[in-house]
């Protein structure tokens, strides 16, 4: 029984791509810059898999005989957001980036949106989610107007206090926005951002929900489902792919909850593909430029790797990667256009193979497709034969 497990360390980039200047991301290097800033990351288990063999990382030495195979992948799609990165892993390459709205959304759209939901809105600006609910939270509570904001990503975010706009209504408002945001306004995600608390101490809850656009073509997940194979999604994977091709899914509260739920599926022998996203690296630390928090989160994940590796069955292949960067050491709080690490481990695989620099994240999906006996995806070059034993 062959099985693949993909764990996406959301935003854990490993160095600027050649076109990073087009995105204003020169000098971004999430892993390297964090390690330098904190005086050395302690990631012994990722190190043993070959993390420091990919590129030179301050205070992390390359190992002579890595347990895993290692390399890095570049993003071929235009853009640097979550949806684009995950879709590319699954075989879709976007020729045009999703639109962003640095000046907020057009006034005529906002007016139509207000008419559709029966409420006026606050905000309509680029803002930090934690900052804007502190600044506009009191007015929202007083008026019932939802807070609309965006970021450097292609997102339309709607924040509301759970006691003012119940979750069910907030989700309905988001679904209305999703149907309206099409054509030139086709953002990658509409995000529900519920919060609780009192004036001066508003806090976002774990009831976030992403309403993504439908993938533009057949994904690895679609192909697996069409062939009767089971895909299990952990974290926001279900939202990113709008549920397409997914047999079972579970949401997560934080990184360690994501690890626990992924580990549970691995131990039970569930699924043909387990696809997990660990979002805290990006959402909690990267976007808030919290360097030391990001470092701690990396070290916490590293400490759980022995549990994950120990639970793998003989025919399992584990892929550890990312979807983009989000370097917390730079002035920007945006994602960064970076290569992402690629670590591949399996009991029946070769060890220590340098997979080099892959031209697209789709190579990972192509490899999973070949390993699980599917026809090739539309994009990507499988590296399974390079790591296959014998």
- Among residues 144, 138, 137, the alpha carbon closest in space to that of 114 is found at 144
pLDDT band at 196, cuts 50/70/90? very high
pLDDT in tens, 117-164: 999 999 999 998 889 999 999 999 999 999 999 988 899 999 999 999
Q: How far apart are the first and last CA of the chain?
A: 19
The hierarchical CATH code for the domain 3-95+216-387 is 3.40.720.10
Say how far apart CA 197 and CA 204 lie, in whole Å: 9
pLDDT band at 54, cuts 50/70/90? very high
Tokens 């370097």 correspond to 327
Q: Is the pLDDT of residue 390 over 80?
A: no
Say how far apart CA 15 and CA 12 lie, in whole Å: 10
pLDDT band at 347, cuts 50/70/90? very high
Domain(s) labelled CATH 3.40.720.10 in the chain stretch across 3-95+216-387
CA distance to 14, 73, 104, 115, 356, per residue, from 353 (Å): 18, 15, 47, 58, 9
Give the CATH class of 107-211: alpha beta
- Among residues 203, 198, 192, 215, the alpha carbon closest in space to that of 117 is found at 192
pLDDT in tens, 198-220: 999 999 998 999 999 999 899 99
Which pLDDT does position 152 carry in this prediction? Answer: 82
Task: Over range 176-183, report the average pLDDT.
Answer: 96
User: Model pTM?
Assistant: 0.91
Domain(s) labelled CATH 3.30.70.1250 in the chain stretch across 107-211
Exposed/middle/buried for 287, CB within 10 Å: 0-12, 13-18, 19+?
A: buried
Task: Over range 49-63, report the average pLDDT.
Answer: 97
């Amino acid at each position: 029984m062959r099985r693949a497990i993909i764990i996406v360390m959301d935003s854990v980039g490993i160095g600027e791509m050649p076109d990073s200047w087009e995105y204003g991301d020169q000098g971004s290097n999430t892993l390297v810059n964090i390690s330098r800033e904190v005086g050395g990351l302690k990631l012994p288990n990722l190190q043993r898999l070959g993390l420091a063999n990919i590129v030179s990382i301050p205070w992390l030495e390359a190992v002579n005989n890595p347990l895993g195979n290692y390399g890095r992948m570049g993003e071929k799609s235009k853009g640097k957001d979550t949806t684009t990165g995950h879709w590319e892993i699954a075989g879709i390459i976007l020729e045009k980036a999703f639109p962003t709205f640095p000046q907020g959304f057009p006034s005529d759209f906002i007016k139509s949106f207000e008419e559709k939901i029966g409420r006026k809105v606050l905000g309509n600006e680029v803002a930090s989610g934690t900052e804007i609910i502190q600044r506009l939270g009191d007015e929202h509570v007083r008026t019932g107007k939802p807070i609309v904001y965006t970021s450097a990503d292609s997102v339309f975010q709607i924040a509301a206090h759970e006691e003012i706009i119940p979750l069910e209504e907030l989700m309905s408002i988001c679904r209305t926005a999703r149907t309206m945001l099409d054509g030139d306004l086709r953002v990658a995600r509409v995000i529900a951002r519920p919060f609780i608390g009192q004036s001066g101490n508003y806090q976002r809850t774990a009831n976030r929900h992403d309403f993504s656009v439908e993938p533009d073509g057949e994904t690895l997940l679609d192909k697996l489902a069409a062939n009767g194979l089971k895909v299990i999604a952990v974290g926001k994977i279900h939202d990113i792919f709008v549920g397409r091709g997914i047999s079972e899914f579970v949401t997560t509260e934080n990184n360690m909850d994501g690890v626990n739920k992924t580990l549970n599926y691995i131990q039970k022998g569930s699924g043909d593909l387990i696809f997990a996203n660990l979002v805290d690296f990006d959402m909690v630390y990267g976007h808030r430029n919290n360097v030391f928090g990001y470092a701690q989160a990396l070290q916490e994940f590293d400490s759980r790797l022995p549990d994950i590796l120990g639970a793998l069955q003989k025919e399992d292949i584990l892929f550890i990667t990312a979807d983009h960067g989000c370097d917390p050491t730079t002035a920007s709080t945006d994602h960064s256009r970076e290569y992402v690490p690629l670590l591949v481990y399996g009991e029946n695989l070769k060890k220590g193979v340098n997979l080099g620099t892959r031209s697209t994240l789709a190579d990972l999906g192509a490899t999973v497709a070949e390993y699980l006996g599917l026809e090739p995806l539309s994009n990507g070059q499988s590296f399974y034969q390079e790591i296959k034993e014998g």
